[in-house]
Structure 1
Amino acid sequence: MVKILLCCSAGMSTSMVVQKMQKAASQQGLDARIDAVGMEEFNEKIAEYDCCLLGPQIKYKLADFQKQATEYNKPVTVINTMDYGMLNGEKILKAALALIESHKES
């Protein structure tokens, strides 16, 4: 099972992205757990997931979150703004899977 955490300022705007990503995962036959949380929950949740994607509105927190995630050896990146705005769950899922794969290889 692939576990992807999405994080935004309050966890609300990413919930629609989560639904689109879950739909894309099920269409691909991928067993995935995808959840959205607010920034304040990042520290307590990151250890449970394979990666974290940040909503574009909190990209200024990327360096801080990457530093925190390093202790759990988890990759963190920002969701592409266009994909986020278009709610393109398929492309965001693909990016998350690529992030996880490239992190395993490094």
Structure 2
Amino acid sequence: MKKIVLLCTAGMSTSMLVTKIREAAKAEGYDCDVNAYPVADASSTSNDADAILLGPQVRFQEKNLKQLFPDKPIEAIDMMSYGAMDGKKVLAQAKRMIGE
């Protein structure tokens, strides 16, 4: 099972997107664990993540997070996909980052 972590300002704004990603994963039969957390909690929530996705509002933290987790794929979620709450597109992004 792959672990996908979404980081945002307070962990709340991505909760609906997490639901959409889970729905897309279920529809595809893709086994993954998807959760959202505040970016301030990254060091305690993302150590075992296979992919770390950043909400557009915290994409400025990408450089810091790449220093904290140099061996993990980290990318900002596309603003259009985020705004549309497009779980299928964000799942596809995470799978690409993982190499699947």
Query: Which TM-score band applies after superposition, normalised by the shorter structure?
Result: over 0.9
Provide structure 1 residue ranges, at least 5 long, that are not aligned to the other structure: none
Provide structure 2 residue ranges, at least 5 long, that are not aligned to the other structure: none
Distance 1:66 1:55 in 2: 15
Instruction: Give 2:65's aligned residue.
Output: 65
Q: Percent identity?
A: 36
Cα RMSD, aligned residues only: 1.0
TM-score (norm 2): 0.96
Q: Quick check: which one's helix share is greater? A: 1
Deviation at 1:66, TM superposition (A): 1.0
Instruction: Give 2:32's aligned residue.
Output: 32
Q: Is residue 5 from structure 1 mapped to residue 5 from structure 2 by the alignment?
A: yes
Tell whether the 8 Å contact from 1:51 to 1:75 is kept in structure 2 after alignment. Answer: yes
Q: Secondary structure at the match of 1:47?
A: coil
Deviation at 1:68, TM superposition (A): 0.5
TM-score (norm 1): 0.91
